[in-house]
């Protein structure tokens, strides 16, 4: 079974660059306080690292 991480959106995408809004949509987030369980891959980690001010990693699961 693949490792997963739980990501929560902690800030609004209003008045953010279009690229940052697109990253949120790519992660499956678009509204405040939404959470998603995503596969822990380098691509997902890279997306999260681009917008650390908008999202928070809540939990890492095996």
Q: Where are the domains of the chain?
A: 4-61
pLDDT tens, residue by residue, 4-60: 999 999 999 999 999 999 999 999 999 999 999 999 999 999 999 999 999 999 999
Cα angle, residue 44 at apex, residues 8 and 32 outer, rounded to 5°? 20
- Checking if the pLDDT of 1 tops 80, the result is no
CATH topology of domain 4-61: Ribosomal Protein L30; Chain: A, (3.30.1390)
Residues 6+ apart with CB under 8 A from 24: 9, 13, 30, 51, 54, 55
pTM for the model stands at 0.91
């Amino acid at each position: 079974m693949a490792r997963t991480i739980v990501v929560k959106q902690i800030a609004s995408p209003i008045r953010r660059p279009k690229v940052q809004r697109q990253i949120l949509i790519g992660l499956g987030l678009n509204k405040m306080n939404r959470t998603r369980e995503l596969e822990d891959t380098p691509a997902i980690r890279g997306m999260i690292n681009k917008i650390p001010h908008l999202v928070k990693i809540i939990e890492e699961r095996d």
